[in-house]
Amino acid sequence: MNFDLTMPAQLTSALGPDLLLMGGAMLLLLFAGWRPESDEHQRTVGILSMALCIFTMVAVGYYAYAGYTASVGVIAVDNFRWATDEILLIATLGTIAMSLDYNVREGITPGETHVLLLLATSGMMILAAARDLIIVFLGIELMSIAVYVLVGVNRRTERSAEGAIKYFLLGAFSTAFLLYGIALVYGATGATNFVEIRANIVRFSLEHNGLLLVGIALILVGFGFKIAAAPFHMWAPDAYEGAPTPITAYMAAAVKGAAFAALFRLWLEAFPTLLYIWHEAVWWLAAITMVVGNLVALAQRNIKRLLAYSSIAHAGYILVAIVVGTSLGSAAFMFYLFAYTIATLGAFAVVVALGRPGEDNMNIEDYAGLWSVRPGLAVAMAVFMLALLGFPIFGGIGFFAKWYVLQAALQAPFPQTRLAVLLVITSVVSAGYYLYVVMVMFMKPRTSAVVPARPSGWTRAVVWASAAIILIFGLFPDAIVALTQRSEPSVNTQPASPARGHVAMQSH
């Protein structure tokens, strides 16, 4: 079926899964406020939220299976959107499962925290679908405002408040950049729709228009903050450390993934003809992010901060896939997003499982000798670390994710040999901190006499499900690869003027 997006009824059908999640979340919001706060009620709301997530995943799967398409309009109906949606919903599901018992342990009683997660996810799904700058902006705000609240929800700790305020202020700052950029692009092209922007750039030959170029630069800065790419990453470690651990996992996996998806679609659908201009900027952004993220991560001794810097480094790797552009890049992008999301969720689930009330037990040294007391968790954490590192076999899909990004970089129309080399070098550097965690767990003697309590069923489920996905699909990656290869944005993404782009590319 081909949706005509100018008709409100068909626009509503095209937004089916998004509306299901939003409507369900609103009903759950009513239900959450219906009874007094208690740990039991919080768990009930959480389990219902997980059920809603699964329903939405089924709906997304049905839409993808039915092969719906749409006319050019405010939203896109294509496999890129469905693939991103599924990854985001998996991340949300894992986050809620982790927070069920975490919230009890930390004394966070409102069930509304789960509902806010769902509403943030609906904003992300809008972001994955958006084909209009106004919708992109609203999706980002819907996602960000819910997450600002979630970061600061544990008001007992000062760190949480500090992280929330920093995140909020810098988030608002970056939104201002984004909005300014959107306004300038609209001023130059007279359109907010991606496809119209692209057409108008060619029609009015705006390739060297100052207004448009400044607008694109500001949009890139705004997105740079959201995906925590260096040098716009300063807020990330503090916000990640201060947030409740499940929310940190959510920020590292889903928030980043959704912003990347929107950036990818915007770049490839609206500005493919300006490839030779934004390409250079994104190239440098990717290079600096990989170097800074990995080098600073080496010095971290707090596991949450270490994972925060690791997520900055991974933003750099994903940017490499964006630099590649084309459908090759989009397949590598989607595969990487999937592998990174699963590995990040699993790693944070282990952190949640080993945490103690009051966000204690967060130093890497606290994990010393974990192998002797909780061998299962130690092995799982080793798998996640190796997956994030991109180690063959034991790192499962993490290895293939990096492999496909490298392949895409080398086979691109303009091969990105230098970026590929930089990616490999920085990955080797990252072994310094990923393997350090593994070494501490397996080889250092246990320092404290306290044996960590057996983690709760939900957290264990997230740990083992993530580890199983990483290892099983690591042995049989073809299924995922086939899916990702069909998940490119529906608008033709080939650069319109490769000859000019090629000249600019020679400088690298």
Full DSSP string of 40-101:
HHHHHHHHHHHHHHHHHHHHHHHHHHHT-EE-SSSB--SHHHHHHHHHHHHHHHHHHHHHHH
The closest of 174, 424, 410, 419 to 285, measured between CA atoms, is: 419
Residue 37 beta carbon to other proteins: minimum distance, rounded to whole angstroms: 7
Residue with tokens 């985001």: 88
The closest of 39, 42, 12 to 28, measured between CA atoms, is: 42
Distance CA 232, CA 228 (A): 6
Residue 97 beta carbon to other proteins: minimum distance, rounded to whole angstroms: 21
Residue 180 CB neighbours (<10 A): 16
CA dihedral 186, 191, 195, 196 (to 10 degrees): -130
One residue of 214, 281, 429, 496 binding other proteins per CB under 8 A: 214
Burial of residue 245 (number of CB atoms within 10 Å: 0-12, 13-18, 19+): buried
Residue nearer to other proteins on the CB measure, 200 or 248: 200
Query: Chain centroid to CA 402: how far?
Result: 16
Residue 179 binds to other proteins (criterion: CB under 8 A): no
Backbone Cα Rg of the chain: 22
Residue 221 beta carbon to other proteins: minimum distance, rounded to whole angstroms: 11
Residue 107 beta carbon to other proteins: minimum distance, rounded to whole angstroms: 4
Report 265-304 residues binding other proteins (CB under 8 A): none
Residue 152 beta carbon to other proteins: minimum distance, rounded to whole angstroms: 6
Query: Chain centroid to CA 405: how far?
Result: 16
Residue nearer to other proteins on the CB measure, 135 or 469: 135
Burial of residue 224 (number of CB atoms within 10 Å: 0-12, 13-18, 19+): buried
Residue 354 beta carbon to other proteins: minimum distance, rounded to whole angstroms: 20
Residue 231 binds to other proteins (criterion: CB under 8 A): no
Residue 158 beta carbon to other proteins: minimum distance, rounded to whole angstroms: 13
Distance CA 424, CA 390 (A): 10
Residue 132 binds to other proteins (criterion: CB under 8 A): yes
Strand partners, 360: 356
One residue of 50, 57, 97, 142 binding other proteins per CB under 8 A: 142
One residue of 1, 27, 58, 134 binding other proteins per CB under 8 A: 134
Residue 494 beta carbon to other proteins: minimum distance, rounded to whole angstroms: 25
Residue nearer to other proteins on the CB measure, 158 or 478: 158
Residue 11 binds to other proteins (criterion: CB under 8 A): yes
Residue nearer to other proteins on the CB measure, 224 or 325: 224
- Spell out the SS3 assignment of 199-229: HHHHHCCCCCCHHHHHHHHHHHHHHHHHCCC
Q: Which residues fall within 8 angstroms of residue 112, CB to CB, at 6 or more apart? A: 29, 32, 33, 45
**Site mask, other proteins, residues 82-121, x = CB under 8 A?**
------------------------xxxxx-xx-xx--xx-
Residue nearer to other proteins on the CB measure, 135 or 405: 135
Residue 261 binds to other proteins (criterion: CB under 8 A): no
Is there a contact between 296 and 360 (Cβ–Cβ < 8 Å)? no
Query: Chain centroid to CA 327: how far?
Result: 20
Q: Which stretch binds other proteins (CB under 8 A): 63-71, 142-150, 279-287, 402-410?
A: 142-150
Q: Which stretch binds other proteins (CB under 8 A): 202-210, 248-256, 366-374, 487-495?
A: 202-210
Q: Which stretch binds other proteins (CB under 8 A): 59-67, 149-157, 252-260, 483-491?
A: 149-157
Residue nearer to other proteins on the CB measure, 104 or 504: 104
Residues in the chain: 508
Residue 176 binds to other proteins (criterion: CB under 8 A): no
Residue 210 binds to other proteins (criterion: CB under 8 A): yes
Is there a contact between 310 and 430 (Cβ–Cβ < 8 Å)? yes
Report 331-390 residues binding other proteins (CB under 8 A): 357
Distance CA 146, CA 152 (A): 10
Give the total of residues touching other proteins (CB under 8 A). 55
Burial of residue 281 (number of CB atoms within 10 Å: 0-12, 13-18, 19+): middle
Residue 84 beta carbon to other proteins: minimum distance, rounded to whole angstroms: 18
Residue nearer to other proteins on the CB measure, 242 or 395: 242
- Residues near other proteins, by CB under 8 A: 8, 11, 15, 22, 26, 29, 37, 74-75, 106-110, 112-113, 115-116, 119-120, 122-123, 126, 132, 134-135, 138-139, 141-142, 145-146, 148-149, 152-156, 184, 187-190, 200, 203-204, 206, 209-214, 357
